[in-house]
Amino acid sequence: MPKQILIVEDTADLRHNIVEVLSMEGFTVSDSANGEEALVLLETINPDLIITDLLMPKMNGFDLIQNIRQNIQWKNIPILVFSATPPIENEKRVLELGANSYLKKPSTLEALVDVVNKLIEHE
Amino acid sequence: MNMKQRLKILHLEDLPTDVELVDRELKKSGMQYESVVVSNEQDFSRELLRFSPDIVLSDHSLPTFNSFGALKILREQQIKIPFILITSTTSEEVSVQVMKEGAWDYILKDRMQRLPSAIEQAIDKYNVRQAKKKTESDLEAAHHKLLFHFENSPLGFVEWDNHFNVKHWSPRAEEIFGWTTQEYQDLQIQGFNAVYEDDYPIAVQKALELTSGGVSSNHFLNRANTKSGKVIWCEWFNSVQKNSDGEVMTIMSLVSDVTEKKHAEEKLAANEKRFRSLIENISDAIVVSDADSNILYQSPSVERILGYSEEERLNKSLKSFIHPDYSKQYAELFQSVLKNAGQPHPFEFPFLHKKGSYVWLEGITTNLLNDLSVNGVIANYRDVTQRKMLNKILQEYNDRHEIVSRATNDAIWDWDIENDFEIWNHGTQTIFGYNEREVGSSRNWWKEKLHPMDYERVNQELEESFKRKTENWISQYQYLCANGNYKYVLDRAFILYREDKPVRMIGAMQDITEQVVAAQELRSLNERYEIVLDTTGDAIWDWDLLSNEITWGEGLFKLFGYQAKAAIRSSFWFDKIHNDDRKRVEQLILEVVSNSRQFKWEDEYQFRKSDGTYSFVHNRGKIVRNKEGKATRMVGSIQDITERKLALEEIEKLSLVASKTDNIVIITDAEKRIEWVNESFVKRTGYTSKEAIGLTPRILQGPETDPYIVSRIQKHLEAGQPVIEEILNYSKNGSKYWLRLNINPVFNNKGELTKFIAVETDITHQKEYEANIVAIARELTELIEHANVPIFGVDRNGYINEWNKTTAAISEYNKNEALGKKWINFIDPTVHKKASQIIENAFAGKQSVNFELPFVSKSGKQFILVISISTRRDRNKNIIGALCVGQDLTEVIQYRQGLENLVQERTLELNQALKKEKELVELKSKFVSTASHEFRTPLSTISLATGFIRRYKQQIVPEEIDKKLDNIEKQVNQMVYLLDDVLLVGKAEAGKILVNRSEIEIETFKTLAAEVIESKRTKHRLHFSNECTVSSIMTDEKLVRNIIINLITNAVKFSPEAGKIEMNISCDLHELILTIKDQGIGIPEKDLKNLFTSFSRGSNVGTIEGTGLGLSIVKKAVDLLNGTIELKSILGKGTEFKVTLPLEYA
């Protein structure tokens, strides 16, 4: 049974690229453009990993992480933050909020796949 | 590729025997491999991607395919794996051709044993090549990445070779210095850019550090000349790149223009310097201490005042410089200062001078520990030792004045003539019964009390004294008492002149009623005596000595009541003589009559009158003798001298009284010859009564007796007027004494001057203290009047009774205006309560020093006096008023405030400059952070897309790769746009954009807007309307495009709920009006101020990405086209921008 990953990213081009890469890696991938959409989507799927951006319209990554961690059903889903904001400013904050890892944009495909595999295997 | 893994071999061969042959050979060599064998083009292509071989072994010719075709596919697919031709063809020509097409090696089928080593060699070569390629591409990528960051950094980036020749510099560096890389290279300048001459040494030193390999990085600041000739401050961050041998290859520098910051710093330094020099050049001493009162700083004036230099006192406790008696007070003050930060505390303490003496310092200390510019307890003070001394002297004078004036019962008055203000001592109450409230302060009050008979005379005398400029004035007059009676007063005064004008008069009024009354009585008695003498009719008698009968005249009856019409025997007469006298009288008559040479007889005796009482009589007779000399008759008269006798007795009695009260009494005749003196005269003058009688009182005068007074007395006496004078007399032994004379002329009933009666008082003692009091008063007056500090006096009721020159000058009220007014009226109304309290405290006997009180001058200006109050007491030690000695603090305080303001102002300026600088830095760093974010997102996409191609190239179809490449290109374009924006803003700010007008179709704007919206791939709908009267306009296309792109982009970005975007263009020949309206989130009012500032973004943008450059670009473009931009925005409803551009036609 292939593992399922939810991508939350507002920049469409980037989102499509991530989806394609992870599909190629054999994952089942769902995607949404912001936190709000992601929460709606989570009602219908049960992903093994959530990858989220931080700065997004409507609901940003911080709020999304908080929402997920506060939900009994979702609180154990690993979350990878994939953001262009400098880690100095936000890494600590998102880890405190409950994210499991922080990957800085831009990242190589290998680094992305690596951290995704680690988080999924760990689970 | 790792040789330890199994080698993947794609074998293109149609003959199974040949496959077998290769397999056998490879297995023989022990090679670990797996292989796929294909024999046609289709299979080859597929397996190339699917199997992803490490090496291709290929037969030359196959039924449908050959090695050329295979190599072509590899080339097209850019697969650069080793390709080894295995052929039976010995034709060298073919082999060469295949090698030319890209084969790595060829093996002849009959020499198959070479195959394993050929494969190994090829794979090795491949690996080396791959590694090299990878290194190259990694390096290139890193370099590009670095360049990218540097190129877009707000810092200028410069790359130098190891001789400090410019290899490259970034656009930002170009902006900073003005030169392009090429231009700069052409200048052939080595080292840090066009260094300002003065800074050349440091630049060279820093450059050498780097090129010599001494340091790998450094940092410094220098001034540089720009292309435009400006001098700017540059801050350099340099680092060295070395190759693997440790040789310096390039030097990378980041440079920023810190001119503004530097100027702010310089301004700060200049301000500090100015502040310090201000402090150092003022006369006030300033000391700054820490919270433990240790001295941190002292201004140069301190050395002048206390003798200690700054080094001598530095880090020593201020406590050790306070007089030990005041150390506790000082400790309390300091505690209070520490507790009340920012609140000024006045102080006054004696401080130790280096010489060991103490100096009184007065000043203000404030806790400014929290003030960053001071960070200490600051005290500014001045030397008030002189003032302190003056105060002490004044107090002493004041006390002496009081003591002396208490020693007398006289009413002492002090009249300020210029200002007509008069003060009185207690005497006015004790002598005349006027209490404090009744005493007036004008000379008229005194004049009104003069007896009407004296009024004119006394005033005349006063006027005359002023005219003659005599220093002493003396007058006697009757003065009205509070009970309505008049008292005789002797008023002696001393007149002070300034520039020949009488300015002050100090006098003492003495009650001489008793003396005058006594003298008047004496005179009247004398007059009566004279009248009796002259008017009484004598009793005439004619005694016939032969018949011894006496014939009496009418007088006998008149005087004695006897009727004697005829001659009566002499026994009638002798019988009436008092027994005490009869014998003596009879004997004397006998003697006189029997002596033939005597012709006169005279005697006094008591004679019995008809009523039985005795009268004193004076009997005189003339003897008539015959030729033989025998007395025949005696004719004479009897005078009744009873009353005269009584009068004389009365005089004796009065003289006795006078002598007991030390009054000297002298009676002279009209020629001023002494007839009679009393005992006091004898005691005082040393002359006996006998010696004195017959002489004139002139014998009493001596060398220091004022001849003017003598002549004045003379003049009065000759005119028959009474005289009162004071005169210096000499006793017989030569000792001097002062007398007050009261001489009255005596007239007989015919109005003839017969006698003078002088009643004299020894006033030597009085004179002495008067001289004393005058001297003190005179000194006090001068001291107060000319003191260079304000001094004013207040009486017990709060009325001003002293007001010196300095006070007048400061307050602008002259003495006249101030005296007699309530002192509180001169105080600032806001502190009336405090002021009243202070004066009440003084009247309650509490010492009041150093009160800072604001006064109001005549012109309404406020001035601040620090006053010290000393009380004035009368002889019963009751407080009767206060003397206030002040110091005008206005200047000090104004100066202090000025200083504070200055510090505040400077701090403010400084803070503003720093704030501005900080804002700029913040904006820039925010920009860097947002810009970097903006760049990172497309970079992520690029990175993932390239990774995708690399990783899955064998699994994906070429179309997919194309898609990825398109994607990458799009991201690159997006980054280029962003970069353009950044550069555009930079250029616009530097004024480097030129307007370039050309003819543009209106419709192109619509197309542009539509394209922009389209590119965003949102659901926004464009409603375009064109109300132009022309179809094309002349304008700068680039600028207008910028305006439209940015406004439309914003409209899309800031209306995330999509909706309608309306764009309207209307234009005529003169102007173009462009409106763009969205239904977005709107702009908060507070953000409008900075809306068009670069890097600033609305507070409600949330996570909507952006750089804060769009509207800045729009504004700059509009400005360049001389247009205007307006906006209407409703939060949550949308925003409408209206751009108006004037149009120009050639």
Pick from A25-34, B836-845, B973-982: least confident: B973-982
Residue B425 pLDDT class (50, 70, 90 cuts):
confident
pLDDT at B336 over 70: yes
What tens digit of pLDDT does each residue of B127-185 get?
888 888 877 777 777 767 766 766 666 777 788 887 777 777 777 788 888 877 777 77
Residue-wise pLDDT for B901-947, tens only, equals 777 777 787 778 777 777 766 766 666 666 677 778 888 888 888 88
* Pick from B63-77, B265-279, B1026-1040: least confident: B265-279
For the ranges B186-195, B578-587, B740-749, the lowest mean pLDDT is seen at B186-195
Count of H helices and E strands in chain A? 5, 5
Chain A closest-CA separation from residue B946 CA (Å): 8
Condensed to tens digits (0 to 9), the pLDDT of residues A82-99 reads: 988 777 778 888 999 999
Q: pLDDT > 90: what percent of chain A? A: 48
Tell me the nearest-neighbour CA distance from A116 into chain B, angstroms: 14
What is the chain B residue with the closest CA to A58? B1103
Instruction: Select from A13, A21, A57 the Cβ nearest to the Cβ of B1104.
Output: A57
Average pLDDT over residues B110-117: 84
Residues of B with CB under 8 A from a CB of A: 929, 932-933, 936-948, 950-952, 955-956, 967, 970-971, 1017, 1056, 1102-1105
Q: What is the mean pLDDT of residues B1112-1123?
A: 88
Q: What is the pLDDT of residues B592-617, one digit of tens each?
A: 888 888 888 888 898 898 888 888 88
Rounded mean pLDDT, B848-862: 82
Higher-confidence position of B913 and A17: A17
Average pLDDT, chain B: 81
CB distance B937–A11 less than 8 Å? yes
Pairing mode, strands B472-480 and B486-498: antiparallel
Nearest chain A residue to B964 by CA: give it. Answer: A17
Whole-number pLDDT of residue B3: 47
Per-residue confidence band for B1056, with pLDDT thresholds at 50, 70 and 90: confident
pLDDT band at B1146 (very low <50, low <70, confident <90, very high): very low
Nearest residue to B702 via CA among B664, B671, B732, B741: B732
Please tell me whether residue A42 adopts helix, strand or coil conformation: helix
**Contact yes or no for A109 and B1104 at CB 8 A:** no
- Range with lowest mean pLDDT among B216-230, B473-487, B605-619, B984-998: B984-998
Could you give the CA distance from residue A17 to residue A25 in angstroms, rounded to a whole number?
12
Q: Which of the residue ranges A87-101, B59-73, B886-900 would you say has the lowest mean pLDDT?
A: B886-900
- Residues B798/B881, Cβ–Cβ less than 8 Å: no
Residue of A nearest to B1056 (CA): A57
Query: Which residue out of A17, A62, A65, A112 would a mutagenesis test of the B interface target, given it has the greatest number of B Cβ atoms within 10 Å?
Result: A17
Instruction: Give tens-digit pLDDT for B245-257.
Output: 777 778 888 888 8
* Least confident residue range of B255-269, B412-426, B427-441: B255-269
pLDDT digits over B448-473, tens only?
A: 999 998 899 999 989 998 998 888 88
Q: Which residue has the higher pLDDT, B20 or B1098?
A: B20
Q: Which residue in A18, A58, A110 is closest to B1056 by CB distance?
A: A58
Question: Quick one: residue B24, left, alpha or beta (phi over 0 = left, psi -120 to 50 = alpha)?
Answer: alpha
* Residue carrying structure tokens 């399922």: A4
Q: Which residue has the higher pLDDT, B372 or B174?
A: B174
Question: What confidence score (pLDDT) does residue B896 get?
Answer: 66
Pick B597 or B888 by higher pLDDT. Answer: B597
Q: DSSP string covering B845-884, please?
A: T--EEEEEEEEE-TTS-EEEEEEEEEEEE-TT--EEEEEE
Which chain B residues touch A14 with a CB distance below 8 Å? 937, 940-941, 944
| B703: number of Cβ within 10 Å | 7
pLDDT given for residue A116 in this prediction:
93
Record: contact B942-A85, CB cut-off 8 A: no
Q: How confident is the model at residue B1103 (pLDDT cuts 50, 70, 90)?
A: low
Determine whether the interchain pair A17/B1104 forms a contact, defined as Cβ–Cβ distance below 8 Å. Answer: no
Residues of A in contact with B1103 (CB under 8 A): 10, 54-57, 60
From chain B, the residues in CB contact with A58 under 8 A are 1056
Taking CB atoms and an 8 Å limit, are A24 and B1017 in contact across chains?
no
Contacts of A82 in chain B (CB under 8 A): 940
Looking at per-residue pLDDT, the higher value among A71 and B390 belongs to A71
Percentage of chain B modeled with pLDDT above 90: 6
Q: Among B937, B969, B974, which would you mutate to test the A interface (most chain A Cβ atoms within 10 Å of its Cβ)? A: B937
> Model confidence over B519-578: pLDDT tens digits?
777 666 666 555 555 545 677 888 888 888 888 877 777 778 888 777 788 888 888 899
How far is CA B1076 from its chain centroid?
57
Q: What ipTM, to 2 d.p.?
A: 0.86
CB contact under 8 A, A14 and B944: yes
In this complex, do A57 and B967 lie within 8 Å of one another by their Cβ atoms? no
**A73: closest CA of chain B, how far (Å):** 28
Residue A24: closest C-alpha in chain B: B952
- Min mean pLDDT across B77-86, B167-176, B404-413 is at B404-413
Q: What is the DSSP letter of B6?
A: P
Q: Does this model's pTM top 0.80?
A: no
Q: Which A-chain residues 46-105 have CB contacts (< 8 A) with chain B?
A: 54-58, 60, 82, 84-86, 105
What is the pLDDT at residue B613? 87
Residues of B in contact with A17 (CB under 8 A): 940-941, 944-945, 948, 967
Question: What is the C-alpha to C-alpha distance for residues B882 and B125, in angstroms, rounded to an integer?
Answer: 116
What is the tally of helices (H) and strands (E) in chain B? 33, 43
Rounded to the nearest integer, the mean pLDDT of chain A is 88
With an 8 Å Cβ cutoff, is A26 touching chain B? no
User: How is B994-1020 classified by DSSP, letter by letter?
Assistant: PP--EEEETHHHHHHHHHHHHHHTS--
